[in-house]
Amino acid sequence: MGKFYAVRTGRKTGIFETWHACELQVKGYPGSQYKSFQNRLEAEEYLDNSTIEKTESPGTALHIYVDGSYSKAQNRAGFGCVFVKNDTILKEVSLETPIISNDNLWNVSAEIAGVLYAVEWCVKKEVPSVTIFYDYEGLSSWYDGSWKANKQTTKNYVKKMNELKKHINISFSKVKAHSGDFFNEKADFLAKKAINNVKESIKFNSNLITNENIDIYLNLELFNKIVGVLNTEEEKTIIICKGFHLNDRIINKLAKYFWKKDKKMLKDLANIKITFDVKSMILNIEYSQKKIDGKIIKLIQLEGK
C-alpha cells in the first residue's frame, strides 16, 4: 500500500494517493501545509486536527526558510534561516554548526540544525505556529515518521522536534532547490556564508555601517606593527590621514595579514578589492577565493589621532 498525502493548505485540500497529485496542490502555493502518512486514518486525523489547532491567517503566519551547506575542503558546515512575515524579512541567521561526521549526512545535518534552531527560537518567542520551508524531503519525512530515523543525527532531530511540537504548531512546505524562490535562495546564501564567512557584495556606504558591522578596530600603534616602518622617500604615493600613512602597497599588506590571521592560505586568494572611506576611516576589504563562489568582506575601523 502506498502513502497517503494530506493537504491542509493548498490549491485543493484533502487526501491524495500519489505525490504527483499532492505536488500539484502545494508546489508554489504560499504557506502550503501537507504531510505524508502510511494509512488513510492518520491522514484524516491530520486534517481533522487542523480545525482545532492554534493557527494564524496565511497573511500573518511566520514562515522560515532553511538551508544547509557543507564544505569538504574546509570540513565545515553551516545553516541559513530567513524569517518571513507578510513577505517581509524579519530576521536572518547564518551560523556554523558541528555535525556528526560518521553519519555522512553533511549538508543535510546542517539543514537539520537550522530547522531545530528556527523552531527553538519560535518556542522561546512564544510563536503559536510556524511553517518551515525546506528543499530536502527528509526534514518533514523524519518528523512525521514516514522515514525511519536510523542515524544519531536524525534520531536526535526527531526526539527534539517531538518535544518542541508540544509548544508550537509546526508545518512544512517543500521548495524545489535552486528554483529561483527568493527567500530560499537567500537561505542558501546564508548557509554558504556561515562556512565561508561570505558577506553579500553590496556597494560600500559608510553611512550604513554600524558598530556591529565592524570586524576589527585598529589603532595606529598596532597598524604600524603590522605594516612596518614606512620609508617616505622610497614610496611614490602616500596618503596621510589622522596619523596613518597609506598607499596601495601598505593596504594590500594589511589585507593579506588579516587573511593569514584567519588561518587561510595566500595560494587560495584570487584577488583583493579595497575601498577606503576617508571621512569614516573605514577600510572595506573584499576578498575573492579560488574555486569558491561568493566574497569575504572585512570591515576595519582605523582609529587615528
pLDDT in tens, 235-288: 778 888 888 888 888 888 999 998 888 888 888 888 888 888 888 888 888 887
Strands 62-71 and 88-96 come out as unpaired
pLDDT for residue 271: 86
Residue 194, H or E segment: helix 182-196
Instruction: Return the HEC string of 84-95.
Output: EECCEEEEEEEE
pLDDT for residue 92: 86
Q: What is the mean pLDDT of the chain?
A: 81
How far is the C-alpha of 229 from the C-alpha of 256, rounded, in Å?
17
Q: Domain check: are 110 and 170 in the same one? A: yes
Residue 201, in any domain of the structure:
no
Say which CATH number the domain at 161 has. Answer: 3.30.420.10
Residue 184 has pLDDT above 60, yes or no: yes
How far is the C-alpha of 192 from the C-alpha of 294, rounded, in Å?
8
Tally the domains of the chain.
3
pLDDT for residue 87: 77
Q: Domain check: are 96 and 164 in the same one? A: yes
What is the average per-residue pLDDT within 127-135?
91
Is 78 or 206 the better-scoring residue by pLDDT?
78
pLDDT for residue 179: 62
Q: Domain check: are 290 and 216 in the same one? A: yes
State pTM to two decimals: 0.50
| Domain ranges, residue 90 | 55-196
pLDDT for residue 156: 92
Whose CA is closest to 136, among 123, 159, 153? 153
Q: Domain check: are 96 and 229 in the same one? A: no
Which of 196, 221, 241 is the endpoint of a domain?
196
Q: Domain check: are 141 and 269 in the same one? A: no
What is the average per-residue pLDDT within 25-42?
77
Q: Domain check: are 22 and 103 in the same one? A: no
Q: Domain check: are 59 and 182 in the same one? A: yes
Query: Do 110 and 143 meet the contact criterion of CB atoms below 8 Å apart?
Result: no
Q: How confident is the model at residue 56 (pLDDT cuts 50, 70, 90)?
A: very low
How far is the C-alpha of 58 from the C-alpha of 164, rounded, in Å?
22
The mean-pLDDT minimum among 155-164, 273-282, 287-296 falls in 287-296
Residue 163 has pLDDT above 80, yes or no: yes
Is 32 or 34 the better-scoring residue by pLDDT?
34
Which residues are CB-neighbours of 257 under 8 A, at least 6 positions away? 226, 227
Q: Domain check: are 188 and 230 in the same one? A: no
Residue 149 has pLDDT above 60, yes or no: yes
Q: Domain check: are 121 and 180 in the same one? A: yes
Q: How many CA atoms lie within 13 A of 235 on its CB side?
A: 14
What is the average per-residue pLDDT within 195-217?
57
Say which CATH number the domain at 10 has. Answer: 3.40.970.10
For residue range 41-54, what is the model confidence (pLDDT) as tens digits?
788 777 766 543 43
Q: What percent of the chain has pLDDT over 70?
A: 84
The mean-pLDDT minimum among 33-37, 50-54, 75-79, 128-132 falls in 50-54
Q: Which three cell numbers stand for residue 89?
A: 524579512
Which of 37, 52, 67 is the endpoint of a domain?
52
Q: Domain check: are 192 and 65 in the same one? A: yes
For residue range 81-127, what is the model confidence (pLDDT) as tens digits?
999 888 788 888 888 888 887 778 888 999 999 999 999 999 988 88
Q: Domain check: are 16 and 67 in the same one? A: no
